[in-house]
Structure 1
Amino acid sequence: MRSESRGFAFGIVLATALIDSIGFGIILPVTPDLLMEVSGETLSSAAVYGGTLMFVFAGIQFFAMPVLGNLSDAYGRKPVLMVSLAVLASNYILMGLAESLVLLFVGRLLSGIGSATFSTCNAYIADRTTPAERAQYFGLMGAAFGLGFVIGPVLGGFLGEFGSRVPFFVTAGLIILNLGLGLIFLPESLAGPLRRPFDWRRANPLASLRSMQSFKVAYAMIGVMFLYNLGHHVLPAVWNFWGIERFNWTPKQVGYSLGYVGLLMILSQGLLIRWAIPKLGYVRSGLIGLGCNLVAFVGYAFASSEAAVYLFLTVGALGGLAGPAMNGLASIAVDQRQQGELQGAMGSMMALTAIVSPLMMTITFDYFSRDPGSFYFPGAPFILAASLTGVSLLLFLWATRSVGSAGTANDSKS
């Protein structure tokens, strides 16, 4: 693929990730109102319904990701990506029209089934990049997510002034536009000779993991990312509750902190990683990222001022090196015919952390924040997250002991 056409194709892929992320964030400000409107319940009851919707989405995603990854290895990235976008658009339209909780749950179920956009985009990037540049493009995917995380909630709050359902329809329109551009302009990245037959026996989370066992570094990276994300979910799970409990933050102050996180994601994964990976290599970048995350979590736990919180948020931004470095190490260790299966296995494990971690973190926060007393410590979930990150760091060190510091393809296949 010529560099001009490759750049245009990557532009569409990154736009897909950006619009998907905007779509996730755009509905956050209005979801409570929609749930109260549809259910007729109070805010606290609506919060329970919202948590259950997240559980349904992550649960379906856990089983769907390996199927979609294997389908993309068999039939190509473009068909799976286009179908996923069509299903996502249908989900947002259905949720915008929903007059009952049942339809909202059906919409989230559809969204979980069609949740292959990020993993398929990563597989597309793996098809069209060299091992040396792969993590840089994975980093751009993270930057697109960060930008969407900044734009989405702001746009959703503005559109929500016109009605709680308007953001859902606008999101559907953006996805349909993206679908049209992809159908017309996006070339297929996986050539016919590199495809393999679809096999239902491999299209489930356990089978996908077993198939990765022959790639030792990739298999270990899945474990590292599982532990890393198990800890990292502390941020969406308890950040707003912790900020209110610890510093009496207002919704605006919570929003400012999340907006700062999004901006840092853009800088770290969009700019910093394009320098760090070529200069430091996958292994050193991963170690720095995991180490900075560990320091940031401990910092949040013991922060005594808002200035300290923002300082450790900045340190945590360097943690953005970890994900692309781990993804890059796993990708270059796996056969070209199994990139979709790899991304499906990784996506499935990430979905599992989205099921387990929020419950674990919120229960920990509740236990240590009930009453100011001998066990009062609102920062406890961050200590738990730091512990999980520490274990993932040790596993990363063990898994990469035979990999050169640059993390070359030959090294990673050992």
Structure 2
Amino acid sequence: MKGSRASVSFILFVVVINMLGVGLAWPILPKLVQAFEGGNISSAAFQYGLLASAYALAQFLFAPLMGNLSDAFGRRPVLLLSQMGLAIDYAILAIAPDYWWLLAARLISGVLGATITTANAYMADISTPQNRARNFGLIGAAFGIGFIAGPALGGLLGEIDIRLPFVAASILSLANTLYGFFLLPESLPPEKRRSVGRLWKSNPVAALGNMGRFPVLMPLFIALLLTAISARGLESIWVLYTDFRFGWSLRDSALSLAFVGVMFILVQGVLVGPAVRLLGERRVVLYGYCVAIFALFLFGIADRGWMLFPLTAVYIIGAALAEPALKAICSKAVPDDHQGLLQGVLASIGSVAIIVGPISASLLLAHVAGPAPLVNLPGIWFLVGALLFAVALLSAARRVVPAPAPD
């Protein structure tokens, strides 16, 4: 099964449908929170940051368990469970009468939302060392396909009824569950599975400790954490920031998110493979981080809305090239029967980023959007993001730059 085109197509289709549902909801949820807050952007930014952080905390606590379960029982059942969790989440969001219902829905999704974690482990199962970075890039491209149609369609449906995108996302997630049940093959054969072990070993701290036997990973984990904090913060405030800073409508924000999807397809679906072959995974990481730092700095000082489109393109070229290359380096450092646990740890790192990034970015946006900001710099989070990428560059360089040969 390793290297099978059909297997790659199966998992990419699962990710596309999953991200189409996420893309539908992405531009709508901040606006729904804003509606609950009476239209106040400063208050909505803070409340939405809390919402995103609660989701991430639940995912942080449960993602290693889901990864461990996928190593023990296979990827397929965990994928199906997570898809059903998403369908329930979106159904609750579609009828939520107040903010606390939104919080309950996000917690459910955080507990069961292991789709991408398990999809990455699935892709590692069916990849060879030679095509692993390219295949991880294809998952990024599948993200992009979902984000091209998802946000644009979500913006259009949201202008009809702000709850309608959640109904559509729930139906898509349910359809994805049925698709996986009938058509998705298992990628981890029984002979490569390991004992699930005691339950306490599936907590994120123990899972991270279990990765401690691979010393190359820790500086790379730090780099992934810092860059993810920057990215998750940017994503969480995008809709409210562009409204506050440039007066963008819901449709404007949704179309800009669709543009993000186009860029992800171009970069991770087309450019990752050739870039890695030409430069090697290590140089792709380092050069990509440098490009992202440059773009984020310019984001922070941009004063015209049109500037965000070319800057988004430059940022994604850097960040979206570096991420799959760095994950491929991590994946090559662990054996086959630890791929699920590794992906669970990576998901927990991502969840920490979603805890820290959105609340930090939202607090800064709430401050600068308030009546008397101490620092009148609307793009302050982008400058913070550039600093985080710079520190990540230094951390990653400790491991991805080969040591000089002895004299």
TM-score, normalised on structure 2? Answer: 0.89
The one-letter amino acid paired with 1:391 is V
* Match in the other structure for 1:348: 348
Q: Is the 8 A contact 2:133 2:325 kept in 1?
A: yes
Q: Is the 8 A contact 2:300 2:383 kept in 1?
A: yes
The one-letter amino acid paired with 1:42 is G
Trace 1:136-175 onto structure 2 (pairs within 5 A).
136-160=134-158, 163-175=161-173
- Are 2:291 and 1:292 equivalent residues in the alignment? yes
1:211 shift after superposition: 0.8
Summarize the Cα distance change of 1:148–1:288 in structure 2 as closer, same or farther, 3 Å threshold.
Answer: same
CA RMSD of aligned residues (A): 2.7
- Return 5+ residue gaps in structure 2 as ranges: none
1:51 shift after superposition: 3.8
* Match in the other structure for 1:407: none
Q: Measure the CA separation in 2 of the matches of 1:374 and 1:95.
A: 36
Summarize the Cα distance change of 1:369–1:127 in structure 2 as closer, same or farther, 3 Å threshold.
Answer: same
* Match in the other structure for 1:87: 85
For CA contacts below 8 A with separation 6 or more, give which structure has more relative contact order.
Answer: 2
1:344 shift after superposition: 0.5
Summarize the Cα distance change of 1:95–1:255 in structure 2 as closer, same or farther, 3 Å threshold.
Answer: closer
Q: Is the 8 A contact 2:152 2:254 kept in 1?
A: no
Q: Measure the CA separation in 2 of the matches of 1:281 and 1:341.
A: 26
- Are 2:320 and 1:324 equivalent residues in the alignment? no
Summarize the Cα distance change of 1:81–1:299 in structure 2 as closer, same or farther, 3 Å threshold.
Answer: same
* Match in the other structure for 2:62: 64
Deviations 1:90-147 (A, max 9, x none): 2223333445655443322221111110010000000110112111111111111122
Q: Measure the CA separation in 2 of the matches of 1:229 and 1:368.
A: 23
Q: Measure the CA separation in 2 of the matches of 1:348 and 1:164.
A: 31
Deviates more, 1:323-332 or 1:131-140: 131-140
Deviates more, 1:251-260 or 1:105-114: 251-260
Deviations 1:253-294 (A, max 9, x none): 444433322211111111111211222211111112111111
Q: Percent identity?
A: 34
Summarize the Cα distance change of 1:192–1:42 in structure 2 as closer, same or farther, 3 Å threshold.
Answer: same
Deviates more, 1:66-75 or 1:304-313: 304-313
Q: Measure the CA separation in 1 of the matches of 2:292 and 2:231.
A: 8
Deviates more, 1:346-355 or 1:43-52: 43-52
Q: Is the 8 A contact 2:221 2:349 kept in 1?
A: yes
Summarize the Cα distance change of 1:171–1:244 in structure 2 as closer, same or farther, 3 Å threshold.
Answer: closer
The one-letter amino acid paired with 1:300 is F
Q: Measure the CA separation in 2 of the matches of 1:113 and 1:127.
A: 24
1:172 shift after superposition: 2.2
Find the residue that maps to 1:131 and give its secondary structure: coil
Find the residue that maps to 1:233 and give its secondary structure: helix
Q: Is the 8 A contact 1:73 1:340 kept in 2?
A: yes
Deviates more, 1:294-303 or 1:119-128: 294-303
- Are 2:277 and 1:273 equivalent residues in the alignment? no
Q: Is the 8 A contact 2:64 2:344 kept in 1?
A: yes
1:165 shift after superposition: 3.8
- Are 2:38 and 1:42 equivalent residues in the alignment? yes
Q: Measure the CA separation in 1 of the matches of 2:171 and 2:305.
A: 39
The one-letter amino acid paired with 1:345 is V
Q: Measure the CA separation in 2 of the matches of 1:374 and 1:56.
A: 28
Q: Measure the CA separation in 2 of the matches of 1:287 and 1:240.
A: 30
1:205 shift after superposition: 1.1
Q: Is the 8 A contact 2:86 2:109 kept in 1?
A: yes
1:161 shift after superposition: 5.4
The one-letter amino acid paired with 2:278 is K
Summarize the Cα distance change of 1:322–1:164 in structure 2 as closer, same or farther, 3 Å threshold.
Answer: same
1:12 shift after superposition: 2.2
* Match in the other structure for 1:207: 206
Deviations 1:8-49 (A, max 9, x none): 222221122112212112124544676688x6x623366655
Deviations 1:197-238 (A, max 9, x none): 112232111111111111122332211100111122242133
Deviates more, 1:43-52 or 1:355-364: 43-52
The one-letter amino acid paired with 1:8 is A
Summarize the Cα distance change of 1:403–1:283 in structure 2 as closer, same or farther, 3 Å threshold.
Answer: farther
Q: Measure the CA separation in 2 of the matches of 1:64 and 1:188.
A: 22
Q: Measure the CA separation in 2 of the matches of 1:110 and 1:271.
A: 35
- Are 2:22 and 1:24 equivalent residues in the alignment? yes
The count of residues paired between Structure 1 and Structure 2 equals: 400
Trace 1:95-110 onto structure 2 (pairs within 5 A).
95-99=93-97, 101-110=99-108
Q: Measure the CA separation in 1 of the matches of 2:345 and 2:376.
A: 39
Q: Is the 8 A contact 1:289 1:321 kept in 2?
A: yes
Q: Measure the CA separation in 2 of the matches of 1:371 and 1:48.
A: 15
Trace 1:119-134 onto structure 2 (pairs within 5 A).
119-134=117-132
Summarize the Cα distance change of 1:91–1:304 in structure 2 as closer, same or farther, 3 Å threshold.
Answer: closer
The one-letter amino acid paired with 1:204 is N
The one-letter amino acid paired with 2:262 is L
1:306 shift after superposition: 4.5
* Match in the other structure for 2:263: 264
